Amino acid sequence: MSFKIAIIGAGSVGFTKKLFTDILCVPEFRDIEFALTDLSEHNLEMIKAILDRIVEANGLPTKVTATTDRRQALTGARYIISCVRVGGLEAYADDIRIPLKYGIDQCVGDTICAGGILYGQRNIPVILDFCKDIREVAEPGAKFLNYANPMAMNTWAAIEYGKVDTVGLCHGVQHGAEQIAEVLGAKSLSEFDYICSGINHQTWFIDLRLNGRKIGKDELVAAFEAHPVYSQQEKLRIDVLKRFGVYSTESNGHLSEYLPWYRKRPEEITRWIDMSDWIHGETGGYLRHSTETRNWFETEFPQFLESAAKPIDPAKRSNEHASHILEALETNRVYRGHFNVKNNGIITNLPFDAIIESPGFVDRFGINMVSGVTLPEACAATCIASINVQRMSVHAAISGDIDLLKLAVLHDPLVGAVSTPEEVWQMVDEMVVAQARWLPQYADAVPAAKERLSKSKVQTRDWAGAARRTVRSIEELRAEKAALKQAV
């Protein structure tokens, strides 16, 4: 069996290595080709060296190529996987720091809220460029597997405007299921079954079975509150479970920024988060984590090469969906997972045009979604608020309409809980100006935004954030990494 997989953003070394080894756990895939592409030639050289070592150590005929020419990488590809972050950490810092001046306290800021919406504005033009290349040079009927955030917006744009067969993939459902299985005392994940449905990062475990026995709300609440770690790290998720009756897939910090109730006042935020790790709600936590680890793979490159020389162990295949989807499509071995696709009635009480995340089965005939799912009303209401923001955000990104972009941000649940319309209008102007180089669709709007900012009367504050650790400067980190690299 021979076909070509292109990975866009392959310079994300750790994730690319995981996808690569997962796919090569499938015996039939020994003869395939991986085409890596990224803007960074340096990162491509590093990841190609690692993957070549894996191929050599395992005596495989697998072909690995690397190029900064995306179109060349996509030529003839049957599957295209995207894990890009447009604008990198420089743009991402604006997603967190500018809204914080207006009191909008985000932990991650990559899905909705002010940061996630602007992230989508940067990504969508690039996603459409990917889709154009896929239509023109990839294998006819090629499938686009999107791992990049903001998941729903990127997938929405690729399906609706890119006209490419697209599925969005995430691992939040798997991680949530592992938590629940642990608190319920399951000896292995095989004892635990579940149905999870909603939208990406707001997906809900609406049916839980442990060894076939249905698990109710009260039992699940008691199990989480009795857990010595999760009872402290997941206080907000547990509170939502108590009120909604179902558990959310997403981490404490992620979930907190999609809701209008928990991050709107500094004194409230500290009640619900945990500072043992960034993911539990730290202000700008993911930005700090990403900044501090931005070059970790360079300092650990020798260790990466050493580990790459070991045999691939199929028992260590990860639960990332990509390899399992490809295996099902190519071999007809059926795979069940949770996928991001256009709703079209799959979830009965969410809009037809929304990108939903829900169970499906994959075989040679494609991804076959389970239809007729109905969410609890509170879950549906929460999802619909986000879907309305996503829809406006996608339309703004396509049209370059800065007024529609401002309306999208205004309607975001957390933004609306803390900011006035005047603040939102100024904040969006400031973000668009700061990120203009990654926002070609707003080029005509930037001069007027600059003019408005020069006359603005809206006061901002030097918010430290409700719960924030010190972020070392990028220059300090670079010096530290350089010293470590030299020592190695």
Please, what's the b/e burial string for 392-415 (b: 16 or more CB within 10 A of its CB; e: otherwise)?
A: bbbbbbbebbbebbbbbbbbbbbb
CB 159 within 8 A of CB 131: no
Helices 113-137, 421-434: inter-axial angle, 10-degree rounding:
50
Instruction: Name the residue among 340, 348, 331, 349 with its Cα closest to residue 367.
Output: 340
Identified catalytic residue from 161, 171, 227, 289: 171
Active site residue 258: yes
* Non-local CB neighbours of 396 within 8 Å, separated by 6+ positions: 121, 402, 404, 405, 408
Known binding residue 170? Answer is yes
* Residue 332: how many other CB atoms lie within 10 Å: 11
Of 70, 102, 207, the C-alpha closest to 422 is 102
Of the residues 119, 258, 262, 286, only one is catalytic, namely 258
Residue 395 is a catalytic residue: no
Does 149 carry a binding-site annotation?
A: yes
What is the rounded distance in angstroms from the CA atom of residue 393 to the CA atom of residue 445? Answer: 16
> Could you give the CA distance from residue 54 to residue 3 in angstroms, rounded to a whole number?
19
Residue 198, helix vs strand vs coil: strand
Q: Tell whether 175 is in a known binding site.
A: no
Q: How far apart are CA 49 and CA 313, in angstroms?
A: 20
- DSSP-derived pairing of the beta strands 247-248 and 366-369: unpaired
Vertex 98, ends 93 and 103: CA angle to 5°? 125
Q: Are strands 366-369 and 202-210 parallel, antiparallel or unpaired?
A: unpaired
Catalytic annotation, residues:
171, 258
**Residues within the annotated binding site for substrate?**
149
**Residues within the annotated binding site for Mn(2+)?**
170, 201
**Residues within the annotated binding site?**
149, 170, 201
